[in-house]
Structure 1
Amino acid sequence: MLEMPSYHALAAMVLTVVVFYLFARGKMSTEIVSLGTIAVIAVGLYFYPLPNAQPTDGLALAFAGFGHYALITICALMILGRGLVVTGALDPVSRVLERVWKVNTQLGLFVSLAIAAGLSMIINDTPVVVLLLPIFVALAQRGAMPASKTLIPINAAVLIGGMATTIGTSTNLLVVSIAVDLGMPQMSVFHYTPIVLAAALVAFPYLWLVMPRLLPDNSPDKNHNERRFFAKLRVTELSGLVGKHFDEIVDTLPEDFRFEERPTGPFQAGQRMTISGTHSGLEHAMRLLRGPVAPAWVVDRIRSEGKARDEDIEVVEMIVTGDSRLVGRTLASSNIADHYGVAVLGIHRPARPLAEEPSPVDADLRLAEGDVLLVMGLGDGLEAFTVGDGLLRLEGAREMPRRSKAVIAGVIMFGSVVFASVGLVPIAISALAGAILMFVTGCVKFDRVGRALSGKVIVLVAASIAIGRIVLDSGAAMWLGEALALGLQHLPPAGVVAAIMLFVTVLTNFASNATAATVGTPIAFNLATQLGMPQEPLVLAVLFGCNLCYATPIAYQTNMLIMAEGRYSFADYLRTGVPLVLIMVTTLSILLAITYGM
């Protein structure tokens, strides 16, 4: 007869359900719910401590998440990813994938999912996501599928691939080691890989064709048109355009960029062509075509001064006000570069339906109130230009990639991934060491760390760790396991496998996969003995269930890593993850039953 759970266990289960409801409902911000959860656990355990515990032990449990190695690891991984972004280290990989995406969007996503799943079979899931995350964010900025529609499918593919081998995740190793301690034979690296690959084939169409349609477009600029800037592209001897015809290069150009005038013959050094594009479109095209849009001498001076002062180059948007001295002048007559040491890359002219305005492609365009300038320079020069010429600086300044550090950032990331993947050091240590090296080498600057970290993710991780601890320490997880074992006695073997997998899946999505593995493996082992069933399929059901962590952001650290970049809500994980969990549980249960003759 199953005894009633203790008051602490009952309270832990009720709290978990309430928190899940609040997250899923989405009416309160993630930060408020997370901090409220931590506060409830801290206050509750202070006045009603766990057995044989002091009131202050409850405070330590509630706030332990803020110093937990998992949170520190996630923050370090965010910093590593930031280093790749600000140095442009992954641009070559992005451009290769971009060509595939340009052929066909669905083909690009298919190839990306296959790469993600394949890599995670031999490399730990977390480093794979850290490597891929900035690539798909960059692809989204260049006109591919929005990041919010690709990151959850890519993450799910990584998790499925990581499930396929015993070295794919640390959780797999944990389950296997617990099973060996209980008396099972050691499993080889690819012991159960065919089962997972067969299930992956069933799930892949959902990841590829359905899941992106269930996700919103959370692109930051989706609700308004980006400004289009007009500029003069200078064709130099080193340019990739010299000797080529327009038709040869038109298909390689980004969608948010175009030539406003078409040359009659091949491009020649010394030509100046009128172009237009969004901020990101101009940057991408200039890099692709190797042609400047501002005088080379001022660009070279900005770069040399930035390197000498170890200062980032910024590109900002500025509005010409009615009091500016620039009103009525052309760029050539304003001597902006001589006065302030900054370079104007392009001009955006807003629509003025009641006035006759010269075309933006006019070489002698005179600036007017309301025009927006795209300006590159160092901090002091930009500030002097803003104040001196009566401009209004807009939000959203972008740093120019520190490409001189790209190789260093790539080596640091590669080293961190390799050391963690081959098991030389834990992922926490390799990530921290990599983050420190990013700072020491100047790939990431201390005063810009805030841009790499997400406050929402930090408090959500801390809250999830606190919930996992209280569910385990209160005895709630063990009581649920005993209740499961009692209810499985009358099910057929295949039903027992499915029920164990589903139980562990629920536990891993609400507590943690380590908790699920620790609780679920002994239960499955003992249950197999009691019911006279083979132990291996039940232990594999636990291992698979620990990896089916798609339904909540708190289930696994890679879910947390993509949350900020994809601007996801709790409901996005539920909407896309629950169907995938059901597909995988059903498919894996059937495959286990067939494989082991149950």
Structure 2
Amino acid sequence: MIEAPSYHAMAAMAVTVLMFIEFVRARLSIEIVSLLTIAVIAVGLYFFPLPENRPIDGLALAFGGFGHYALITICALMIMGRGLVVTGALEPAARVLERLFKFNLQLGLLISLVITLVLSMFVNNTPVLVLMIPIFAALASRGALPTSKTLMPLNAASLIGGLATTIGTSTNILVVSIAVDLGMREIGVFDFTPIVLGAALVAIPYMWLVMPRLLKDNSVAAAAGARMFHTRLRVGTQSMLTGKELSEIADKLPSGITFHGEQSGPFQPQQRVHISGTHEALEDATRELRGELAPSWVLDRIKRTASAKSMDQMVVEMTVTADSRLITRTLPSSGIADLYGVAVLGIHRPDRLMGERDKYSDGGDLRIKEGDVLLVMGIEPDLQEFARADSLLMLEGGRELPRRSKAVLSTVIMGFSVVMAAFGILPIAISALVGAILMFVTGCVKFDRVGRALSGQVIVLVAASITIGRFIDESGAAAWLGETLSLGLVFLPPALVLAAIMAFVTVLTNFASNATAATVGTPIAFSIASTLGLPAEPLVLAVLFGCNLCYATPIAYQTNMLIMAEGKYEFADYIRTGVPLVVIMVATLSVLLVMSYGL
């Protein structure tokens, strides 16, 4: 007869259930629920400490998550991801995937899922996902699927890939190590890979076709009304336009760009061509057509100034007010570049207000009117001076231009960190910290921009999840649940025994931690195998699999939290998409284990 759980164990289970309910109800923000959970545990353990503990030990347990290596690792990984984004290091990969997604969105997502799964079999799944997150964020900004519909499936694919080998996650190594200590043979790296790949074949259609439909679209609705800027593109000598007529290369031109006016004959080097498009489309045009939107001497001067002052180049939008001296002037006659050291890349004026006399012609330039929106590039002090002196209203939404000169450097730093962690040369926490430090030292990420890389919501949630996991473990709640489970499995067939063990460990890992689930579940599996006369290995694998089926809550695994801010996910999104996947994996893996071991 099993004893009743201790008061601390009951309290741990009650706090966990209440936290889960509040997350699902979503009446309070995730940050508030997380902080309340930490506060309740801190106060409770201070006045009612665990056996043989001092009241102060309860405070250390409650607030220890803020200094835990897992939280530091996640923050360091976010910083490295930020470094890849601000240097434009991932743009080539994003452009390749963009072509694939343009060919077919569904095919692009399927291939991305397969690539992520396969990579995670050999490389720790955390750095794999860190590489994928900024790529798919860039794809979303280019009109592909929104991050809310891609990051959750990608995360699930990385977790399944990590499940397929003993080196896929640190939890796998922990389970195998505990099993060896208990007397079982050491499981090889690929011993259970066929079982996992068989389950993956069943799970991938769900992740590919169903999961994105269960998730909201987090793309910004205002993007549909993005401003269209008119400008003159200066054709470069190496441009695909040079020597060609527009009709010859129409199908190769960047999407979102419109050519205005009639073009007679082939384009010539240094010819100025009237085009229009969004800011992003104009950037694509300058890159793919190898042209410039402002005189080269202005752009070069801005780059030199930014480098000399160690400042980022920025592009902002400014509205021309009634008091501006620019009204009725053209860009060449305004002297903007000489006076302020900034470059105007384009002018937005709605087509309904664009009269025939306003249109660009071969011999003229657009004259600025009140209400026009200018797209201006420069460093922040020069942009501020230009707006103040010429009576312009600077709009929100300005963004930094990628520091492409450091793109290779940031890629090397990220690659170094990934390799060190993937091959076990350094722990993931250390390799991530080294990478983050190198990003700062080399200037790939600037100290005053760190806040843009980190999510306060994720930080507080990680700290709370670590606290609740430790409380469940140290209060004895996890051990009591495991003993209770073992009493009910005596009369079940092997497939249901495996499914029950896997489901129990899955619940434990989604609310406590992978390490807690592995530490508690592996000895229980050995005990159940001995009691029922079953081989220990399939039951231990059921524990190993269960430790990795952490799709149903954001607190279950660090990659779940990494995608939370970028995908703008809510707690309910994990439950809605993760629970069906858990059911699919538990059922499929249990059947395949029975078939593989002839139970």
Specify the TM-score bucket, using the shorter chain as the normaliser.
over 0.9
The verdict on how the C-alpha distance between 1:418 and 1:250 changes in structure 2, with shifts beyond 3 A counting, is farther
Quote how far apart the aligned CAs of 1:238 are: 3.1
- Residue 381, structure 1, aligned to residue 378, structure 2: no
Of residues 228-237 and 320-329 in structure 1, the stretch that sits farther from structure 2 once superposed is 320-329
- Residue 486, structure 1, aligned to residue 487, structure 2: yes
CA offset digits 1:535-593 (Å, max 9, x no partner): 11111111111111111111111111111111111111111111111111111111111
Quote how far apart the aligned CAs of 1:265 are: 4.1
- What is the aligned partner in structure 1 of residue 532 from structure 2? 531
- Residue 431, structure 1, aligned to residue 426, structure 2: no
Give the count of matched residue pairs. Answer: 597
Quote how far apart the aligned CAs of 1:284 are: 2.2
Matches within 5 A, 1:382-461: 382-461=383-462
- What is the aligned partner in structure 1 of residue 8 from structure 2? 8
1:255 and 1:512 map into 2 onto residues whose CA distance is 46
- What is the aligned partner in structure 1 of residue 196 from structure 2? 196
- What is the aligned partner in structure 2 of residue 88 from structure 1? 88
1:46 and 1:287 map into 2 onto residues whose CA distance is 61
Question: Tell me, what secondary structure is at the counterpart of 2:275?
Answer: strand
Question: Tell me, what secondary structure is at the counterpart of 2:273?
Answer: strand
- What is the aligned partner in structure 2 of residue 330 from structure 1? 330
The verdict on how the C-alpha distance between 1:530 and 1:442 changes in structure 2, with shifts beyond 3 A counting, is same
Question: Tell me, what secondary structure is at the counterpart of 1:375?
Answer: strand
Quote how far apart the aligned CAs of 1:249 are: 4.5
CA contact (8 A) 2:358 2:367 kept: no
Question: Tell me, what secondary structure is at the counterpart of 2:233?
Answer: strand
- What is the aligned partner in structure 2 of residue 580 from structure 1? 581
1:244 and 1:151 map into 2 onto residues whose CA distance is 41
CA contact (8 A) 1:116 1:128 kept: yes
The verdict on how the C-alpha distance between 1:158 and 1:248 changes in structure 2, with shifts beyond 3 A counting, is farther
CA contact (8 A) 1:468 1:510 kept: yes
Question: Tell me, what secondary structure is at the counterpart of 2:28?
Answer: coil
The verdict on how the C-alpha distance between 1:501 and 1:84 changes in structure 2, with shifts beyond 3 A counting, is same
Quote how far apart the aligned CAs of 1:282 are: 1.6
- What is the aligned partner in structure 2 of residue 495 from structure 1? 496
CA contact (8 A) 2:518 2:544 kept: yes
Quote how far apart the aligned CAs of 1:44 are: 1.1
CA contact (8 A) 1:122 1:168 kept: yes
Quote how far apart the aligned CAs of 1:267 are: 2.8
2:472 and 2:282 map into 1 onto residues whose CA distance is 52
- What is the aligned partner in structure 2 of residue 462 from structure 1? 463
Matches within 5 A, 1:193-272: 193-221=193-221, 225-247=225-247, 249-261=249-261, 263-272=263-272
Question: Tell me, what secondary structure is at the counterpart of 2:365?
Answer: coil
CA contact (8 A) 1:349 1:360 kept: no
What is the aligned-residue RMSD (CA, Å)? 1.7
CA contact (8 A) 1:350 1:370 kept: no
2:509 and 2:213 map into 1 onto residues whose CA distance is 26
- What is the aligned partner in structure 1 of residue 541 from structure 2? 540
CA offset digits 1:177-213 (Å, max 9, x no partner): 1111111101111000000001000111111111111
Matches within 5 A, 1:59-208: 59-208=59-208
Residue type at the aligned position of 1:94 = A
- What is the aligned partner in structure 1 of residue 569 from structure 2? 568
2:357 and 2:571 map into 1 onto residues whose CA distance is 50
CA contact (8 A) 2:233 2:273 kept: yes
Quote how far apart the aligned CAs of 1:93 are: 1.3
Structure 1: gaps of 5 or more residues: none
Question: Tell me, what secondary structure is at the counterpart of 1:318?
Answer: strand
1:335 and 1:406 map into 2 onto residues whose CA distance is 33
CA contact (8 A) 1:123 1:168 kept: yes
1:343 and 1:553 map into 2 onto residues whose CA distance is 45
2:152 and 2:22 map into 1 onto residues whose CA distance is 21
Question: Tell me, what secondary structure is at the counterpart of 1:10?
Answer: helix
Residue type at the aligned position of 2:411 = G
Quote how far apart the aligned CAs of 1:251 are: 4.1
Question: Tell me, what secondary structure is at the counterpart of 2:17?
Answer: helix
CA offset digits 1:306-340 (Å, max 9, x no partner): 11222110111111122222223222221111110
CA contact (8 A) 2:87 2:407 kept: yes
2:252 and 2:62 map into 1 onto residues whose CA distance is 54
Quote how far apart the aligned CAs of 1:246 are: 3.4
Question: Tell me, what secondary structure is at the counterpart of 1:316?
Answer: strand
Question: Tell me, what secondary structure is at the counterpart of 2:473?
Answer: helix
Quote how far apart the aligned CAs of 1:255 are: 3.6
2:521 and 2:433 map into 1 onto residues whose CA distance is 31
Question: Tell me, what secondary structure is at the counterpart of 1:551?
Answer: coil
Question: Tell me, what secondary structure is at the counterpart of 1:74?
Answer: helix
1:269 and 1:38 map into 2 onto residues whose CA distance is 65
The verdict on how the C-alpha distance between 1:262 and 1:134 changes in structure 2, with shifts beyond 3 A counting, is farther
1:2 and 1:170 map into 2 onto residues whose CA distance is 32
2:467 and 2:324 map into 1 onto residues whose CA distance is 56
2:467 and 2:262 map into 1 onto residues whose CA distance is 62
CA offset digits 1:286-316 (Å, max 9, x no partner): 1222211111110110011111222110111
TM-score, structure 1 as length reference:
0.97
Question: Tell me, what secondary structure is at the counterpart of 1:594?
Answer: helix
- Residue 550, structure 1, aligned to residue 551, structure 2: yes
1:262 and 1:19 map into 2 onto residues whose CA distance is 65
TM-score, structure 2 as length reference:
0.97
1:331 and 1:425 map into 2 onto residues whose CA distance is 55
Residue type at the aligned position of 1:172 = N
CA contact (8 A) 2:163 2:548 kept: yes
2:46 and 2:79 map into 1 onto residues whose CA distance is 35
CA contact (8 A) 2:233 2:293 kept: yes
1:505 and 1:267 map into 2 onto residues whose CA distance is 63
Of residues 392-401 and 198-207 in structure 1, the stretch that sits farther from structure 2 once superposed is 392-401
Structure 2: gaps of 5 or more residues: none
CA contact (8 A) 2:319 2:371 kept: yes
- Residue 35, structure 1, aligned to residue 35, structure 2: yes
Quote how far apart the aligned CAs of 1:368 are: 2.3
CA contact (8 A) 2:522 2:543 kept: yes
Residue type at the aligned position of 2:140 = A
CA offset digits 1:210-241 (Å, max 9, x no partner): 11111111013457522221211110213343
Question: Tell me, what secondary structure is at the counterpart of 1:370?
Answer: coil
Of residues 91-100 and 584-593 in structure 1, the stretch that sits farther from structure 2 once superposed is 91-100
CA offset digits 1:241-265 (Å, max 9, x no partner): 3234435644454543333346454
Residue type at the aligned position of 1:343 = A
Question: Tell me, what secondary structure is at the counterpart of 1:275?
Answer: strand
Of residues 365-374 and 575-584 in structure 1, the stretch that sits farther from structure 2 once superposed is 365-374
Quote how far apart the aligned CAs of 1:361 are: 4.8
1:392 and 1:405 map into 2 onto residues whose CA distance is 32
1:290 and 1:277 map into 2 onto residues whose CA distance is 16
CA contact (8 A) 2:85 2:402 kept: yes
CA contact (8 A) 2:254 2:288 kept: no
The verdict on how the C-alpha distance between 1:580 and 1:260 changes in structure 2, with shifts beyond 3 A counting, is farther
Question: Tell me, what secondary structure is at the counterpart of 2:592?
Answer: helix
Question: Tell me, what secondary structure is at the counterpart of 2:3?
Answer: coil
Residue type at the aligned position of 1:374 = L
Of residues 67-76 and 396-405 in structure 1, the stretch that sits farther from structure 2 once superposed is 396-405
CA contact (8 A) 1:142 1:254 kept: no
Of residues 232-241 and 33-42 in structure 1, the stretch that sits farther from structure 2 once superposed is 232-241
Of residues 225-234 and 325-334 in structure 1, the stretch that sits farther from structure 2 once superposed is 325-334
Question: Tell me, what secondary structure is at the counterpart of 1:374?
Answer: strand
1:95 and 1:281 map into 2 onto residues whose CA distance is 13
1:525 and 1:498 map into 2 onto residues whose CA distance is 15
CA offset digits 1:477-514 (Å, max 9, x no partner): 11111111111122111100001101111111111111
Residue type at the aligned position of 2:339 = H
